[in-house]
Structure 1
Amino acid sequence: MALVPIGEIHSPYKRLEDIPGQGRLSQEICEIDVFPEYAFGLKDIEQCSYLFILLWMHLGDRRRLMATPPISHKEHGVFATRSPGRPNPIALDIVELLDVKGNRLTVRGMDALDGTILLDIKPYSPEMDCINYM
């Protein structure tokens, strides 16, 4: 299996301790540069209000199987958390799309370190992706 980076994240977060606990709570503006060879894949993306962004958390400890989330006081298996330390350090952010200029997306709601590798972009659809609990 081989993953291909398709772009890079530019954020105000230069150090791990700068990153907010939840990107959705941040008002910081970030930019996503899609590499030129993948820019055609952005056609019609401006029709999306929100996007799923898949990232490679390159500083995550891939040996970790346990983590203690900030809102919990006990240890959990990493698959029951959103910890960056995990066997495959893939992150999923839901961001608000603010602007598209060429191969650059301007977004809000991301919690990625500056220079983080972009793996994929998918449209977020409230009708399909929001689970309503009864």
Structure 2
Amino acid sequence: MGDTLRPGEQTLAFDPGARADASVCFIGHIRSPWGPDTETPKNIGKARATGQDARIELADGFGDGLLGLKVGQPLIVTYWMHLGRRDLIVQAPRHADGPCGTFALRSPRRPNPMAMSTVLITSLDQGAGVIGIDAIDAFDRTPVVDIKPWLGTVDLPPNR
């Protein structure tokens, strides 16, 4: 699927995209300063450190789904990393001592290129279907799959 493998990496013998079991309706797109030709932050923490804001622009018809959200509220945004490689099952990240299984990593290279980040709402325009967010580590125009409120009573692991 294009990229050169690092030592220790393994690919699947099939294309996971060819085994689609369901369809996904993208509800909008992320707007960010990042792109394939820019130095994109490797995670949401590093994206926040840049001071770059971003936004989510919902597709027509989805703006009413923002009713009840408020500026300052945390959200969980799931998005489809459409440019990510899908066939790596063992990866050799530069930050690890050795190869790791894809499911042990937050890499964009995965069978289903889903990502999620917890962000803060910085502005909200329900009529236009636009949510300003504090940061994101996704390329401009990355498709958004879903948005959910982050709830401390639900989203914290037990005993944390």
Q: Structure 2 length normalisation: TM-score? A: 0.77
1: CA distance, partners of 2:117 / 2:35: 18
Task: Kindly tell me the number of residue pairs found equivalent between the two proteins.
Answer: 134
Moved over 4 A (4+): none
Aligned partner of 1:51 in structure 2 is 75
Shift in Å, 1:128: 1.6
CA 1:71/1:17 → structure 2, altered by over 3 Å: closer, same or farther? farther
Identity in percent = 28
**Aligned to 1:95, which of 108, 116, 119?**
119
Shift in Å, 1:23: 1.1
**Aligned to 2:85, which of 54, 57, 61?**
61
1: CA distance, partners of 2:30 / 2:40: 13
Aligned partner of 1:40 in structure 2 is 64
Q: Does 1:121 align with 2:147?
A: yes
Aligned partner of 2:25 in structure 1 is 4
The gaps in structure 2 that reach 5 residues or longer are 1-21
**Aligned to 1:30, which of 33, 37, 54?**
54
Aligned partner of 1:86 in structure 2 is 110
State the SS of the aligned residue for 1:18: coil
2: CA distance, partners of 1:116 / 1:73: 30
Please say which structure displays the higher CA radius of gyration: 2
State the SS of the aligned residue for 1:44: coil
1:94·1:109 contact (CA, 8 Å) conserved in 2? no
2:71·2:123 contact (CA, 8 Å) conserved in 1? no
State the SS of the aligned residue for 1:37: coil
2:71·2:122 contact (CA, 8 Å) conserved in 1? no
Q: Structure 1 length normalisation: TM-score? A: 0.91
The gaps in structure 1 that reach 5 residues or longer are none
2: CA distance, partners of 1:16 / 1:84: 16
